[in-house]
């Protein structure tokens, strides 16, 4: 009997995903954060569950679009506090040996030489377990810390991303794996013929190279990108090893898979080799009633100004200025004109309900509450129900890649453990998940099918 393709699982451990339920008594967030021991604990749990990687998303500025101020975000803990996770990954890697780590930096703000060197070092420290989620950033608060007042135009951000990654790749290849000889007899450290400048001169960057480091176990980190617009998908097709996709319903996900495959073929690449890890929100418990009870916690006690600050931050539009009634088309046009993403929350709402729908402010915020907390997209159920749900999506989207499980699992120990002790065995019994890590590096594990 032919074996079925197996799913890859990742944990979305970006703290902001859990900010809305930090008030719950079992949340880790308000008690221990920041605590290195907690991060180590999460790494151990994920490794026991044979996860491919733990992912850290990022946004670097404190949201300030709602009412034009940071006050609501600061008061309610929206997308802050956030630290640079690279040193924390070092700690997590010391208590594990297989699970990988995905780190996010914006090509719009960073310099490729610095980034290539940092990720090389992390790949050494983790012994080949680093993935780089390359983002453009679509948030004004991030731009304002890096010399801009407004967002850089959407297409130009992706032009820069493509050149940024080209430069990084050239730098990672600028020192051959066998360049270092460390020969005490001849006194030779490395062979200059195997260490080459890259002499890159482009529209955005001028970098001589080579990179001043020994090649890392993976050579370069696993490259990931999550752009969902046509331009974002095109950039993915150029350079990614894997894609992060937004879990947005079967039809749209299947459509994104088809578009990515077309774009990959246009780049002369084999679509079978590139998986999509779909951001997916699940809550697993022994009974469906218990899972649903846990799901209800997501929207309990969430203040509307937190929702407003979150939505405004992510769309670049101050939602506090919304009139009592408006059409989704008009709102999305203003968001796109401000250069945020055309496929964000309002775009998806318009897709779901029709662009011409008129909506009241209260209805809009109710949808916003459900989106911001993940409530709308969370599937709660028994291990069998959730395994069914994941299998259906996996098959509908080409059975390549898998899922990045997000939000409250990360913030509550028992809920995260339910994934690894209930859901993972259910998937294994169906032959849908590994029973041991196949490879030595993250790239090898992600490539296993
Ligand atoms: C799973 C997933 C993870 C993402 N992580 C981040 C992140 O950490 N930081 C960020 O600014 N954007 C993040 N994004 C947003 C994307 O990079 C991208 O901007 C978004 O999907 C809109 O697509 P577009 O840029 O092609 O319009 C993420 C998106 C998805 C689907």
Of ligand 1's listed atoms, the one at least distance from the Cα of 57 is: 8
Residue 182 has phi, psi (to 5 degrees) of 45, 55
pLDDT in the model for residue 25: 77
Cα 402 to middle of ligand 1, angstroms: 17
Cα 121 to middle of ligand 1, angstroms: 25
Cα 194 to middle of ligand 1, angstroms: 37
DSSP character string of 171-222: HHTSB-TT-EEEETTTTEEE-GGGB----EE-SS-EE----SSPPPTTSSPE
Mutating to test ligand 1, I would choose from 13, 53, 57 the residue with most ligand atoms within 8 A of its C-beta, which is: 57
Considering only CA atoms, give the Rg of the chain.
22
Domains of the chain (ranges; CATH) run 8-299+378-447 (3.20.20.30), 303-372 (no CATH)
pLDDT in the model for residue 356: 84
Intervals of the chain under pLDDT 70: 1-2, 15-20, 29-34, 342-343, 408-411
What percent of the chain lies above the pLDDT cut of 90?
A: 73
pLDDT in the model for residue 331: 87
Give per-residue burial for 313-334: e unless 16+ CB within 10 Å, then b.
Answer: bbbbbbbbebeeeeebeebbee
Residue 443: asked if its preceding bond is cis (omega within 30°), the reply is: no
Cα 222 to middle of ligand 1, angstroms: 17
pLDDT in the model for residue 168: 98
pLDDT in the model for residue 94: 98
pLDDT in the model for residue 291: 94
Cα 133 to middle of ligand 1, angstroms: 9
Query: Which residues on neighbouring strands pair with residue 360, listed in sequence order?
Result: 325
Residues within a 6 A CB radius of ligand 1: 57-59, 104, 135-138, 226-229, 231-232, 244-246, 279, 341-343, 404
Q: Atom 4 of ligand 1 has which residue's CA nearest to it?
A: 226
Cα 67 to middle of ligand 1, angstroms: 24
Of ligand 1's listed atoms, the one at least distance from the Cα of 142 is: 11
pLDDT in the model for residue 332: 85
Cα 146 to middle of ligand 1, angstroms: 19
Q: Atom 8 of ligand 1 has which residue's CA nearest to it?
A: 57
């Amino acid at each position: 009997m032919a074996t079925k393709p197996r799913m890859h699982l990742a944990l979305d451990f970006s703290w902001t995903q859990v900010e809305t339920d930090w008030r719950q008594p079992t949340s880790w967030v308000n008690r221990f954060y920041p605590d290195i021991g907690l991060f180590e604990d999460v790494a151990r749990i994920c490794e026991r569950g044979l996860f491919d990687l733990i992912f850290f998303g990022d946004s670097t500025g404190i949201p300030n679009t709602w009412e034009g101020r940071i006050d609501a975000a600061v008061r309610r803990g929206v997308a802050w506090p956030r630290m640079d996770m690279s040193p924390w990954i070092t700690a997590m890697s010391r208590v594990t040996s297989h699970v990988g780590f995905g780190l996010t930096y914006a090509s719009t703000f960073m310099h490729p030489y610095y980034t290539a060197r940092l990720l090389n070092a992390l790949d050494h420290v983790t012994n080949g377990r680093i993935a780089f989620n390359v983002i453009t950033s679509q948030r004004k608060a991030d731009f304002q810390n890096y010399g801009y007042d407004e967002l850089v135009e959407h297409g130009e951000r992706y032009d820069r991303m493509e050149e940024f990654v080209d430069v990084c790749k050239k730098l990672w290849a600028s020192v051959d794996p066998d360049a270092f000889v460390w020969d005490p007899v001849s006194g030779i450290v490395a062979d200059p013929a195997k260490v080459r400048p890259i002499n890159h001169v482009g529209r955005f960057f001028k970098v001589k190279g080579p990179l001043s480091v020994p090649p890392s176990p993976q050579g370069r980190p696993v490259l990931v990108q999550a752009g969902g617009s046509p331009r974002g998908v095109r950039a993915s097709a150029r350079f990614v090893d894997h894609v992060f996709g937004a879990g947005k319903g079967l039809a749209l996900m299947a459509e994104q898979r088809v578009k990515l495959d077309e774009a990959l073929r246009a780049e002369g690449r084999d679509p079978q080799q590139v998986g999509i890890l779909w951001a997916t929100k699940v809550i697993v418990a022994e009974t469906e009633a218990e899972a649903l009870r846990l799901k209800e916690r997501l929207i309990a006690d969430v203040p509307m100004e937190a929702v407003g600050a979150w939505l405004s931050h992510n769309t670049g539009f101050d939602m506090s200025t919304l009139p009592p009634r408006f059409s989704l088309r008009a709102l999305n046009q203003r968001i796109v004109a401000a250069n945020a993403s055309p496929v964000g929350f309002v775009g998806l709402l318009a897709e779901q309900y029709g662009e011409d729908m008129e909506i009241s402010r209260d209805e809009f915020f109710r949808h916003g509450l459900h989106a911001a907390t993940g409530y709308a997209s969370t599937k709660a159920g028994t291990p069998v129900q959730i395994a069914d749900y994941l299998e259906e999506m996996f098959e509908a989207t080409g059975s390549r890649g898998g899922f990045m499980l997000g939000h409250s699992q990360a913030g509550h120990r028992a809920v995260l453990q339910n994934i690894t002790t209930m859901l993972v065995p259910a998937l294994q019994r169906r032959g849908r998940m590994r029973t041991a890590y196949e490879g030595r590096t993250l790239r090898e594990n992600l490539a296993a099918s």
